[in-house]
Structure 1
Amino acid sequence: MIIEIRSHGGFGGITAAAPPRRIDTDAQPADRRAALCAAFRPGALSQLAQTPCPGCPDRMRYAITVTEDPTQSPHSITLSEGQLPPEMLDLIDSV
């Protein structure tokens, strides 16, 4: 699985953007690979997108693209920081 993450946004019109991140889960240690694959599988991301997020316009946003199989189309979704559980934010920060 290849995970690509682009972050942007911030508080009250102050924008921040981090360099894009690209994670090849096959190159990760087994425990980290399992955590990344579970957190970023397309079904899990789609569920997070359904989470209500009042006040999200002033939060960081994450454009996430997941390619599970190179022969299939990638899955892309944009989520607000408020829609992501703390452990997923920790995973993002660690890569």
Structure 2
Amino acid sequence: MKTLVVVNPNASHGEAGRDFENSISTMIREEIGDYELHVTTCPGDAMDYVSRNSDYERIISVGGDGTLNEVVNGMIVGKSGASVGIIAIGSGNDFS
């Protein structure tokens, strides 16, 4: 199954980036195998990337509500039928 992991390294004041490097990346690889990684660099980046790359079967959002919002909106724009996974590491996490 072709999987994309979208990481916002600035979520939760940088905690998401540190946690991804230290443990989450290993956990994901052990559970699902290989995946492609996109690390966001600015607001709107996740939405743009996901909308232009709609051939994934599974997309995992690593960050908070803002990251999840961008991933889902990118899927809508790109007409993606992927399943969405969430690893919530944000400051609010009302939806993620």
Normalising by structure 2, report the TM-score. Answer: 0.28
Normalising by structure 1, report the TM-score. Answer: 0.28
Structure with the larger strand share: 1
Structure with the greater alpha carbon radius of gyration: 1
